[in-house]
Amino acid sequence: MTSRAGFGAVDKLPSGRWRARYTGPDGRRRTATFGAKSDARAWLATQQADAVRKVWRAPEAGLRTVGAYAADYLIRGDLRESTRSLYAGLWRLHLADHWGSTPVGDVTPAKVRAWHTAAATTTGPTALAQSYRLLRSILGVAVADEVIPSNPCKLRNAGTPKAARPSRALTAAETQALADRLGRDGRTARYRALVLVLAFGGLRFGEATALRRRDVLDDGARLRVERSVRFFDGRWLVGEPKTDAGRRTVSLPAAVAAALADHLERFVPDSTDALVFGTRAGTFLHSANFGQTFRRVAEAVGLPPVRPHELRHTGATLAAATGASTKELMRRLGHSSAAAALIYQHAADERDSQIARALDAMIGTASALSEGARA
């Protein structure tokens, strides 16, 4: 017994189940079986509605696994070597076991949320945020291929790591105190100029530690940023800066330029390829090793807990406080979007409000003295 309703057909099988059949927009015949005739008709109606709305997708397309999409994503030609290595590690350590064999059509927002909740108990905030962003990007390819209608990675702020505490900007005086303390110890003197360059130049740590002597221009007045370095999976990876805007030339304050010139004379070989901020052996400086020294010195000068990355935060905030425009901050910091630069402008706006409040207090004091004199 077969019934037709203009789109496809429904017939009863010898087993007593109901079979729905139709020809898809791609010209291929498709079938599905159901326990009830009403379910078969409902399925046909859904397929027809998708075809009319031009959102129909071949059911078998969603059977391709997340792992297959990940394999293609990781060999993309537009990925930097360091980025590819990072993604490969994230996939292997945090995603493959859970998602590797899952068909992309079976990934739902609820399943992503359940994975994220479970992963948060065993994964650090930065790795978790990076893994979530990678999963979202991989599934974004399936969306672009029109295999799934939308990206199931819909968790708000899941791609942004939650820091244990907010970043803070040091003052110029605090930065100088750190640098001077480093400079007074023969074991750490080679880090003095690095702190000043990070804080007043706003460079990323990987950008600063990838600098070669040939990248120092005009006796230390300018730095040419063309590459970045990071240690990952047991090896050093040198590549392009983090963003396209990262290739830039940064001008340094005269005092920092003088400190850098002194640093070059004392600690850097004459070769144009010599690392500006390398180790005594002339190799790349590891962020973990520098971080230990930095935290000890910060504690010694009486600062609250502070991370090396906050030197870049300091440079950005101090630059914004000079009145630099958003575009000027973007160029100086190597940002490709205005969003990050605006963060530091907001910080400068808050400082301006503090100045206004301090002036108001001064006005109040002056008024009180004036009234006292008249009395």
What local confidence, expressed as pLDDT, does residue 375 receive? Answer: 58
Please identify which of the residues 204, 248, 263, 332 carries the catalytic annotation.
204
What local confidence, expressed as pLDDT, does residue 246 receive? Answer: 82
What local confidence, expressed as pLDDT, does residue 370 receive? Answer: 56
In sequence order, which residues have a C-beta less than 8 Å from that of residue 271 and are 6 or more positions away?
213
Name the average pLDDT for the chain: 87
Class of domain 63-144: mainly alpha
Higher pLDDT, residue 6 or 68? 68
Q: Is 344 a catalytic residue?
A: yes
pLDDT-based confidence at residue 166 (cuts at 50, 70, 90): low
Residue 121 has pLDDT above 90, yes or no: yes
Q: Is 116 a catalytic residue?
A: no
CB 141 within 8 Å of CB 100: no
CB 314 within 8 Å of CB 175: yes
Strand pairing of 18-23 and 29-34? antiparallel
In sequence order, which residues have a C-beta less than 8 Å from that of residue 281 and are 6 or more positions away?
none
Please identify which of the residues 190, 312, 313, 332 carries the catalytic annotation.
312
Please identify which of the residues 80, 84, 309, 351 carries the catalytic annotation.
309
- pTM score > 0.85 for this model? no
Report angle CA 328, 333, 334 to the nearest 5 degrees. 100
What local confidence, expressed as pLDDT, does residue 235 receive? Answer: 85
Strands (E) located in the chain: 2-4, 9-12, 18-23, 29-34, 216-217, 222-225, 228-232, 235-239, 248-251
Higher pLDDT, residue 25 or 140? 140
Q: What is the CA radius of gyration of the chain?
A: 30
Each residue's pLDDT tens digit, 176-233:
999 999 999 999 999 999 999 999 999 999 999 999 999 999 988 999 999 999 887 7
In sequence order, which residues have a C-beta less than 8 Å from that of residue 28 and are 6 or more positions away?
58
CATH 3.30.730 residue ranges for the chain:
2-56
Please report how many Cα atoms fall inside a 13 Å half-sphere around the Cα of residue 128, on the Cβ side. Answer: 20
Q: Is 191 a catalytic residue?
A: no
Class of domain 172-333: mainly alpha
What local confidence, expressed as pLDDT, does residue 158 receive? Answer: 92
Residue 351 has pLDDT above 60, yes or no: no
Q: Is 247 a catalytic residue?
A: no
CATH 1.10.150 residue ranges for the chain:
63-144
Residue 87 has pLDDT above 90, yes or no: yes
pLDDT-based confidence at residue 107 (cuts at 50, 70, 90): very high
- Percent of the chain exceeding pLDDT 70 equals 87
CATH 1.10.443.10 residue ranges for the chain:
172-333
What local confidence, expressed as pLDDT, does residue 326 receive? Answer: 82
What local confidence, expressed as pLDDT, does residue 352 receive? Answer: 55
Q: Is 309 a catalytic residue?
A: yes
CA-nearest of 96, 105, 107 to 67 is 96
Cβ-count burial 208-225 (b if 16+ within 10 Å, e if not):
bbbbbeebbeeebbebeb
Residue 251 has pLDDT above 70, yes or no: yes
Instruction: Read off the tokens for 183.
Output: 């400079």
CATH of 2-56, one of 3.40.50, 3.30.730, 1.10.8, 1.10.520: 3.30.730
The Cα–Cα gap between 169 and 326 comes to 18
